[in-house]
Amino acid sequence: MPIIIPKDIPAFDTLQKENIFVMTHSRAVGQDIRPIRIAIVNLMPTKEVTELQLMRLLGNTPLQVKITLVKTKTYKSKHVADWYLDKFYRFFDDIKNKDYDGLIVTGAPVETLAFEDVKYWKELTEIMEWADNHVTSTIYICWGAQAALYYRYGINKILLPEKKFGIFGTHATVPYELLLKGLDDTFYIPHSRHTEIDGDAVRAIPELEVVAESKDAGISIIKEADGKRFYFTGHAEYDRYTLDEEYKRDRDKGLNIASPVNYYTDNTNTEIDVKWRSTANLLFYNWLNYYVYQIAPYEIEEITD
């Protein structure tokens, strides 16, 4: 089944070329199917890139998935044209009286700031509170995961001596976790961050369960017991060139940045070994199936009830 997005959003043509079934709203309403409604709070400056990465994964299921892109009112992105945001995004105020089957909150390049110093912090906390009663299941990614853990449980982030940057082997820490169904014993997830969460603080909270961990990158995925919230510390959604572009951007700025580990296959840093694509597809497929579709009521208004 397709992912439902506007025909004139740039991701539409790219997804079609990749043989991912996309559909416009006008065509979707002609089908007697209740689509899964997913809202994406996109905090990344490169919004078009992040949209495409997440839509690519959400479109790789048998479900009909309708996407709503959400922007913040308290901070205006400097990297995206106003007309683009006005056309394809909605403010939180526009959706806060609606219910959604799933929510994704992305990372953001603000991890060295105190949470309360982030300009849209109050608005983000309102979104997190809203999700408790209006969303079946939520994924928080990277800084989004750190922010949610801090807000909900007071777990702070820890500044790393050097950037955690590369592709890291990861393994399940609990047997038969549905989110990880189909993954190999060792699976790979990209990480790109200057901070990490306090693992001891996470394990001290009964409601939180570490379901995947990396020897070199630390805790990778945390689940709340009821599956209502997931916290991804890495970026499984990244595509082939994301880390390459980040590395070259920082290097060209003169920053002290090492090349991403376990990523390039040659000494010239040109050939890339993509070893996380199947992991990304299975993570989002399993989330949509087991923690959204199988749980969400047919009448979406019942989520609030």
Place of tokens 């390459």: 244
Residue 7 has a CB neighbour count (10 Å cut-off) of 13
Where the chain has pLDDT below 70, the residues are 1-2, 19, 21-33, 297-305
Dist. CA 155–CA 148, nearest whole Å: 9
pLDDT at 143: 97
pLDDT at 297: 64
Say what the pLDDT of residue 23 is.
53
Retrieve residue 126's tokens: 């309102």
- Supply the pLDDT for residue 299: 62
pLDDT at site 6: 80
> Which entry of 51, 134, 142, 246 is annotated as an active-site residue?
142
103-133 as b/e, with b when 16 or more CB fall inside 10 Å? Answer: bbbbbbbbbeeebeebebbebbbebbebbee
Please work out, in degrees rounded to the nearest 5, the angle formed at the alpha carbon of residue 57 by the alpha carbons of 110 and 26: 105
- Annotated catalytic residue 209: no
Please give the span between the terminal C-alpha atoms of the chain, in angstroms, as a whole number. 28
Say if CB 235 and CB 143 are below 8 A apart. Answer: no
DSSP state of 266: S
Active site residue 196: no
So what's the pLDDT on residue 256?
86
- Which entry of 51, 111, 196, 237 is annotated as an active-site residue? 237
Tell me what pLDDT residue 30 has. 45
pLDDT score recorded for residue 28: 46
Is-catalytic flag, 194? Answer: no
Tokens (6 digits) for 6: 């506007």
Q: How many residues does the chain have?
A: 305
**What are the tens digits of pLDDT across the range 112-154?**
899 999 999 999 999 999 999 999 999 999 999 999 999 999 9
With residue 245 as reference, give the H or E element that holds it.
helix 242-252
Compute φ and ψ for 151, nearest 5 degrees.
-70, -40
Phi-psi region of 171 (alpha: psi -120 to 50; beta: other; left: phi over 0): beta
CB 21 within 8 A of CB 3: yes
Left (φ > 0), alpha (ψ -120 to 50) or beta: where does 54 sit? alpha
CA 122 to chain centre: 20
